[in-house]
Structure 1
Amino acid sequence: MKSNLLPDDDAAELQQIAGCEMIDLLLPDMNGLLRGKRITRDALEKVYANGVCLPMSLIATDITGNTVEETGLGYDIGDEDRICRPVPGTLKIVPWQSRPMAQVLLSMEDGKGGMFAANPREVLRRVVERFAEKGLTPVVAVELEFYLLDAQLDTSGHPLTSINPSTGERNKTTQVYYMEDLNDYQAFTDAVTEACRAQHIPADTAVAEYAPGQFEINLKHRKDALLACDDAILLKRAIKAIASDQGLLASFMAKPFVDQAGSGMHVHVSVLDKDGNNLFACTPERPNDALRHAVAGLQAASTDCMLVFAPHANSYRRFVLNAFVPLNDCWGFNNRTVAMRIPHSDEANTRIEHRIAGADANPYLVTAAVLAGILQGLETKADPGPPVVGNAYEQTETRELFWRDTIRDFMASDFVAKNFGSDFRHIYGQQKLKEMRSFYREVTTLEIDWYLRQV
C-alpha cells in the first residue's frame, strides 16, 4: 500500500521492495562514515512525519567512534539529540542483504527550525546555493579508487593483497588497466553493477588500477552536486558490503601499502551558465578566462582546504614522488602529474579534474571545497600561471605536507569560515586535532624497532 506520508519517489521505490522488513537510516558524519539506526517497516511513516532523534555529537565523532568533547557537542550541551529527517528521493533497496531491506539518507536539523550548519551535506548544499544565486550550475562526477584485500590480516596486523579468484594465487603484480584482472574479479564487479542498478547509482566504468588488487569505479556526471556525492557515499557502502559477502575486504584507505600506489578521489567539475552552456568550453591551445580563473581559485584554496582533501594521518603517506599523485597545485591539459588536470575531451565537455583528495576523504566536503575554490576564482579572476606540459614532478617544486600543519592552516582559514561557516571550521578542526593527538600518543612498532635497543 502506498503511504501518503512518503514523497512520491520514495513511496514508489518502497512499493517495489516486496516484503520489505527493515530500513537503515543513514547519517553521513564528517569522516564520511554512515551512522544511524535500523527500524522496522511499520516505523518508517513516523520517521517521515516526525523525524528521528540522534545525538548531535554523531556528526563529529572521531574515526574511532568516540565523541570529541572539544567540539562543544558532547557533555557541554548534555549530548543533546537533534531531529534528523529523511532526504527525499534517497530511499533505495539494499540488494545485498539476505532479506528485503531498504535504506534512506538522513539530514540533521539544528533545533532552531533550520538545518545543522556543520552537517557535511548541508555544507555542500550552501556552496551549491551560491552558484544558483549567480545563475550557475556545477556539473560533478566522482571517481573512487580502492583496494580489494584479503579479509584476514597478516600475523603483524597488516593488510594482505587478496587471493585472485581465478588463479588461486595472491595478487603480486601491477597491471594497470589490465582486462584479465577485471575478468578475474567479474563476480565482484557484476555484483557491484547489479547493486548500482538497483539503487540507481550511475556507475559506468570499472578499471584495474596501478597496484595489485586496486580498482577504480567511475560515476557519471550529475547536474546536482548533492546527488553526485550521495552516489559516491552509497557506492562506497555497496562496494564494502559486496566485498565482505565475497570474503574480501574493500578498503578506501589512502595508502594501505608503503610500496604500492595510494587510492585517490578525483572530482570532475564543469560549470553551466543559465542557458546551459559550459563556461569552461575551450581548447588546450586557447584556454578561456573562466577555466583559468577557476583553476586559480582552486590553487588559492588548496592550502586552506588540504585538511579536507587529506583528513587522516595515513592520508599523507599517499603524497610521494612518481605515483600519479599531485605534489603541488599546478595544472595542465591531459596531464596526470598535475593537481588540476583538464582531461582530453571535445571543446564543449571541457572540465577540471581535481586530483588532490584521497579516497579516504568525505565526498561532500571535498566537493564543497572544490566548488568553493572554483567560485572564488571566478569572482576574483585570478591568474593560475601557465599550464604544465610534460612531467610536473621535474618542473615544479614539491610541497611537503604534514597533518599538524594542515590542521593549523584549516583552523586559521578565513576562506573556510566564509565558505563553510565558523561553526564547521571549529567542529571539524577540533575533531581532527583530537584524532591527531590520539594518533601521536601511540607507540608504533617502528619506534620499538628503531629505538628500544639502540638508544
Structure 2
Amino acid sequence: MSEITTTATALAPDVHTVRIESTNHDGTFHGKNIAPKKFASTPEFGLADLLFGLDLGNAPTMGFAYPSWRGHITDLQFRPDMSTLVQWEPGVQSVIGDYWQNDGTPVGTCPRNLARKLVDRLAVRGFTATIAVEIEATVFQESVHEARAKGYRDLTPLGGSAGTALNLAKSKDWVDYMSAVVRRLEQIGIEWEAWSDEDAAGQVELNLIPGDPISVCDNWARARQVMREVAFERGHTVTFMAKPTAGYGQASHVNLSLQRDGVNAFYAPGRPSSTMLNAVAGLLATMRGATSVMLPQITSYRRLVDLSGPPTTVTWGIANKTTAVRAVVGHPAYSRLEYRVPGADANLYLAVATILAGVIAGIDGNLEPVDPVSDLAWCAPDLERLPDTITKAADALESDLVLREQLGDEFVDYWVGTRRWEWMQFHTAGGDPFSELSEWESQRYFEFP
C-alpha cells in the first residue's frame, strides 16, 4: 500500500493525464495515457507483449524461437520508476518505467532493464560509469503530413542546403527550431551542453550533459521525443534515420568514463590508464558482435563509407576520430573513451548495455589491446572491417560467447532473430539493395525509431 500512496502523493494537484513511457528493442518511444486516479491505484500496468513482438512495419516478427513471455499476446507488467516523474506540459506528467513478467522476473529484451543489469555488474567490480551522448538528427521544412505524402523523399532541409559543419549562417527558422527544443528540455529538467550545425544539410547535433547511464538514456529518449514534438508544432518534421538522404549519415556517439572511489579510472598522466587499456581491449574483442546492436536497421549499414565520417574498421586510437574507439587521455576529469560505431537509429539503452558488456569483459580478463592506430583507419587493407550488412552483424553477435554471457541468451537470440526478420522483410517487401536509399527504407525508418 505504501507504493500506491507514494505514486498518488507524487502527482501534481492539477494533473489530468499521466503518460507512461518506455522504449522497445527497436528504440521506438512507447507508452499510454493514464487517468491520475487509475495511476494512483496500482503500482504496475499490463501492456501487451506485442510492444516487443512487432517490427517497424507493424507486423509480428516470426521465424525464430520466442521466449516464454512472447507469442500469446499476454500482458507484460510496466512498472513506473517514480524518480523519472516530470511535468511534461501543463496538466500532463510523464514517467519512465521497465517491463517485467507476471512471475516477477525482468523481460530479457527490455532495454532499460538490460542496461541496469550491466550497470549493476560494473558496480560489483567497484566501478561506476559516466556517459554522454551526441544526438544527431535531420530537420526538414515540410510538416510530417507533407513528408508522408511525399513518401519522405525529396524533402527540403530546414535552414538551407549548406552542409558545412558548425555553420552559424543558418536561416532563422533553423535557429528558432533548436532554440525551442532546448527551452522545452529545460522545462522538463533535461540539461544540455551544446547544439550545432552538423555536416549534412538540415542536420543538427545536440549534446546532453554527462551523467549516470540510466539517467542519460532516459534523457536521450525524452529529448528525441521533444525534438519530434517541437518539429510537429512548428510545421516541420525530424528524423533519426541513420541515413535519411543519399548524403551524410547520422551517428549517436557514446562517451564513457569509469570512476572508482570518485576518481577517474581512465586517467593516467599523458597516456591511457591500465583500466582504460583493459576497457579498449574488451570493446575491440566484442565489436563485431556489438555492431548488430549499434547498427540495428538495414539503412544503418549505408553509413559505413570510408572517408565519410563513420568508423569502418575494428580499431582504436588516441585522439583519432577515424577509429571506432577514440581515447581522450591525460586529463583527470575528461579522460574517456568515445565509442563511435552507433548510428542515430540505435537504442541507447541497448548500446550502453553492450558497451558496458565489452568493458567488463576487458577488465575481468585483464585484456590488452592491439596498438592504437595513428593514421587514417579508413581504406586500410590490413585492418579488420566492421560487419557491413545486418545479417553479417547478426551472425557475429550470435557467435559472440562473451556478449552472450553478459547480455544473456534470451536477449541475444531474440535480437538476432528480429534482425534476420528485418533482412527478410527488406528483400521480400520492396527493398532495393543496390540503391543509395530505397523507398522501402524511407517508409519504414523515417518516423521510427
TM-score (norm 1): 0.87
Q: 2:243 corresponds to which letter in structure 1?
A: K
For the pair 1:432 / 2:419, whether they are aligned, the reply is yes
> Are 2:196 and 1:210 aligned?
no
Give the conservation status (yes or no) of the 8 Å contact 1:29–1:61: no
CA contact (8 A) 1:110 1:117 kept: no
* Structure 1 residue 66, shift from structure 2 partner: 2.8
Residues 117 and 423, structure 1, Cα contact 8 Å, conserved in 2: yes
Assess if the C-alpha contact under 8 Å between 1:309 and 1:356 holds in 2: yes
| 1:317-328 alignment, distance < 5 Å | 317-328=302-313
Match of 1:298 in 2: 283
1:38 aligns with 2:33: yes
Distance 1:84 1:445, change over 3 A: closer
Cα distance in 1 between the residues matched to 2:240 and 2:96:
21
Letter of the 2:321 partner, please give it.
Answer: R
Instruction: Indicate the residue corresponding to 1:160 in structure 2.
Output: 155
Shift of 1:347: 3.6
CA distance in 2, matches of 1:213, 1:6: 47
In the alignment, which residue of structure 2 is the partner of 1:196? 185
Residue 312, structure 1, aligned to residue 297, structure 2: yes
User: Contact between 2:4 and 2:43, CA under 8 Å: does it hold in 1?
Assistant: no
Query: How do residues 1-20 of structure 1 correspond to structure 2 at under 5 angstroms?
Result: 5=4, 7=6, 11-12=9-10, 14-15=11-12, 19-20=14-15
Deviation at 1:55, TM superposition (A): 1.2
Amino acid at match of 1:145: E
Letter in 2 for 1:333: I
- What is the match of residue 174 of structure 1? 163
SS at match of 1:185: helix
Partner AA of 1:232 in structure 2: W
Provide, for residues 7-45 of structure 1, a one-character-per-residue CA deviation record: whole Å limited to 9, x for no partner: 48x955x32xx6322122123100111223212222220
- Aligned residue type for 2:219: D
Deviations 1:265-306 (A, max 9, x none): 111110011x211111024x4322211111111001111111
- Whole-Å Cα distance in 2 between the matches of residues 220 and 94 of structure 1? 19
Q: Tell me the CA shift for residue 129 of structure 1.
A: 0.8
Residue 231 of structure 2 corresponds to which residue in structure 1? 243
Aligned mates of 1:333, 1:78 — CA distance in 2: 50
| 1:406 corresponds to | 393
1:342 matched to which residue of 2? 327
CA shift, 1:194, in A, is: 1.8
- Match in the other structure for 2:447: none
Q: Which residue is 2:262 aligned to?
A: 276
Q: What TM-score results when the alignment is normalised by the length of structure 2?
A: 0.88
Structure 1 Cα separation of the partners of residues 34 and 220 of structure 2: 24
Q: Measure how far apart 1:444 and its partner are.
A: 4.6
Query: Does the 8 A contact of 1:28 with 1:59 survive in 2?
Result: no
| Residue 106 (structure 1) aligned to one of 97, 108, 113 | 97
Q: Name the SS for the 1:439 alignment partner.
A: helix
SS at match of 2:264: coil
Answer yes or no: is 1:67 the counterpart of 2:75: no
- Cα separation, 2, equivalents of 1:268 and 1:105: 23
Query: Which moved further from structure 2: 343-352 or 238-247?
Result: 343-352
**1:182–1:378 CA distance, 2 compared to 1 (3 A):** farther
Task: Please state if 1:376 is matched with 2:370.
Answer: no
Q: Secondary structure at the match of 2:76?
A: strand
Residue 256 of structure 1: aligned partner: 244
Q: 1:386 to 1:182 in 2, by over 3 A?
A: farther
Q: Which of the residues 44, 53, 77 maps onto 1:83?
A: 77
Pick the aligned partner of 2:16 from 21, 35, 38. Answer: 21
User: Could you tell which deviates more after superposition, 71-80 or 305-314?
Assistant: 71-80
Q: Which has the higher contact order (CA 8 A, sep 6+)?
A: 2
Q: 1:117 to 1:286 in 2, by over 3 A?
A: same
Unaligned runs of 5+ in 2: 436-449
CA–CA separation in structure 2 for the residues paired with 1:183 and 1:52: 44
Kindly state the Cα deviation for residue 161 of structure 1 after the two structures are TM-superposed: 3.1
Q: 1:250 to 1:155 in 2, by over 3 A?
A: closer
Looking at structure 1, the residues matched to 205 and 276 of structure 2 have their Cα atoms a distance apart, in angstroms, of 27
Q: Residue type matched to 2:24 in 1?
A: D
Q: Which amino acid aligns with 1:141?
A: A
Deviation at 1:85?
A: 1.2
Counterpart selection for 1:416 from 403, 409, 419: 403
Contact residue 60 and residue 427 of structure 1 kept, 8 A: no
Give yes or no for contact 2:191–2:208 (8 Å, CA) kept in 1: yes
CA contact (8 A) 1:271 1:280 kept: yes
* Match of residue 366 from structure 1: 351
Cα drift, residue 202 of structure 1:
2.1
Q: Please say if residues 91 and 103 of structure 1, whose CA atoms lie closer than 8 Å, have aligned partners that are also in contact.
A: yes
What is the Cα deviation at residue 106 of structure 1?
Answer: 2.3
Tell me the amino acid that sits aligned with residue 252 of structure 1: F
Q: 1:120 Cα shift?
A: 0.9
For residues 375 and 76 of structure 1, the distance between their equivalents in structure 2, rounded to whole angstroms, comes to 30
Deviation digits for residues 109-137 of structure 1 (CA, Å, limit 9, x no counterpart): 12212322221111111111111111110
> Which digits, 9 at most, give the CA deviation of each residue in 1:23-72, with x for residues without a partner?
221231001112232122222202xx341111123124212233324452
Change (3 A) 1:226 1:75: closer
- The secondary structure found in structure 2 opposite 1:19 is coil
- Distance across 1 between alignment mates of 2:29 and 2:151: 29
C-alpha contact (below 8 Å) 1:182/1:189 kept by paired residues: no
Amino acid at match of 1:261: Y
Q: What is the distance in 2 between the residues matched to 1:161 and 1:371?
A: 39
